[in-house]
């Protein structure tokens, strides 16, 4: 201890022993001991509540308590105060149990000298001081861990929210705001992914390009709000026709749409495109300005390829676009298929 003054509580009912202990404590010239003595355990507990003590000297044989229970009962009220047991019992088992439960030392009265008692007190105080520092460090470490955990949780929530925001932003950036389907930018990403998959597995990949016939006259007749509604209905109809999760429909231009059909050969693509055409007819959207029919119709260009070698995905786009051009050139409201190398 750094302090030269130590307040001691002596719990002892034998007046002779109290006198001897006082005399022993007087034999040191480096530390001032202030001794308060009580004869009963209940008095000791009361004193602990009312005073501050640096150490407790405890006899286990008291009028109101005996043996290990004496220490345990006192320790439950004074767990932070170092306690040295100073008793008449030479019971080795009791000594071991008492120290195991937290006593700093176990001294037998008839074997104690002033030197032994003072050394035991000093060692007990030093150990208690060290334990208190360890306890404080542990509390600080636990507090730090709690704060770190809270910060990690807060940061995790923050990052999760930001990640969700980024996902939403990405989704919005890849979605056509008018129709709610994918936009032209998402086509490039998905087509490239499916192209690589088809190349790796030697599987066919098909594309359907679609264009609403004579859409400008429709807008001129009904106005852009009605034109937007028409685009929404067409987009929804195409999307409903595509049944597989990997199939994608996108708004590729103003009134142009594109469907990507992974693992789909020519026959499968033709089944899909004919169903799209039939579903558009069922919409029965009146278009009196159309020179071919009085309803909204679409022209379709279909292409299929099994990727190989250094062929690029843009090749398939170009093939479908060429087929669409032919469909328009040959009268519209029709389907044209572009054979590879045609």
In the chain, the largest separation of any two C-alpha atoms, in whole Å, equals: 127
Beta bridge partners of 37: 10
Q: How far is CA 339 from the centre of its chain?
A: 51
CA dihedral angle for residue 317, residue 321, residue 222, residue 293, rounded to 10 degrees: -130
Contact present, 297 and 333 (Cβ < 8 Å): yes
Q: Please tell me the number of Cα atoms within 13 Å of 184 on its side-chain side.
A: 7
> Where are the alpha helices (H) located in the chain, listed in sequence order?
15-25, 41-50, 68-77, 92-100, 114-173, 184-201, 215-222, 224-241, 266-283, 313-329
Q: Let me know if 34 is a catalytic residue.
A: no
- DSSP letter for 91, please: -
Tell me if 282 sits within 8 A of 186, measured CB to CB: no
**What is the rounded CA–CA span in Å between residue 152 and residue 114?**
56
CA dihedral 246, 260, 278, 238 (to 10 degrees): 70
Return d(Cα 178, Cα 229) in angstroms, integer. 9
Which stretches within 85-113 are classed as H helix? 92-100
| From 255, 256, 308, 336, the catalytic residue | 255
Rounded distance between C-alpha atoms, residue 65 and residue 63, angstroms: 6
SS3 of residue 194 by DSSP: helix
* Neighbouring C-alpha atoms within 13 Å toward the C-beta of 3: 11
- The radius of gyration computed from the CA coordinates of the chain, to the nearest angstrom, equals 46
Q: Hey, which residues are catalytic here? A: 255
């Amino acid at each position: 201890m750094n302090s030269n003054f130590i307040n001691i509580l002596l719990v002892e009912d034998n007046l002779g022993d109290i006198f001897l202990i006082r005399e022993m404590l007087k034999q040191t010239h480096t530390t001032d001991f202030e001794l308060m003595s009580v004869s009963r355990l209940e008095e000791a507990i009361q004193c602990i509540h009312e005073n501050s003590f640096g150490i407790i000297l405890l006899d286990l044989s008291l009028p109101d308590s005996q043996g290990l229970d004496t220490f345990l009962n006192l320790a439950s009220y004074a767990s932070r105060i170092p306690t040295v047991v100073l008793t008449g019992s030479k019971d080795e088992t009791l000594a071991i149990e008492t120290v195991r439960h937290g006593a700093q030392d176990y001294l037998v009265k008839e074997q104690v000298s002033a030197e032994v008692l003072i050394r035991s007190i000093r060692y007990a105080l030093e150990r208690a001081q060290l334990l208190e520092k360890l306890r404080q460090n542990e509390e600080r470490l636990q507090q730090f861990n709690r704060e770190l955990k809270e910060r990690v949780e807060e940061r995790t929530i923050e990052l999760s929210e930001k990640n969700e925001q980024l996902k939403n932003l990405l989704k919005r950036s890849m979605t056509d705001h008018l129709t709610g389907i994918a936009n032209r930018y998402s086509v490039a990403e998905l087509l490239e992914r499916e192209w690589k998959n088809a190349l790796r597995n030697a599987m066919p990949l098909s594309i359907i390009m679609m264009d609403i016939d004579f859409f400008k006259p429709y807008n001129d007749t009904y106005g852009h709000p009605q034109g937007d509604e028409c685009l929404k209905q067409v987009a929804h109809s195409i999307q409903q026709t595509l049944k597989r999760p990997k199939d994608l429909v996108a708004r590729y231009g103003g009134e142009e749409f594109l469907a990507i059909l992974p693992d789909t050969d020519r026959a499968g693509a033709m089944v899909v495109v004919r169903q799209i055409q039939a579903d558009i007819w069922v919409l029965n959207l009146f278009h009196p300005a159309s020179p071919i029919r009085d309803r909204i119709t679409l022209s379709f260009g279909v292409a299929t390829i099994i990727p190989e070698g250094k062929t690029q995905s843009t090749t398939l786009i170009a093939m479908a676009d060429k087929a669409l051009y032919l469909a328009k050139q040959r009268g519209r409201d029709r389907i044209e298929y572009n054979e590879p190398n045609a």
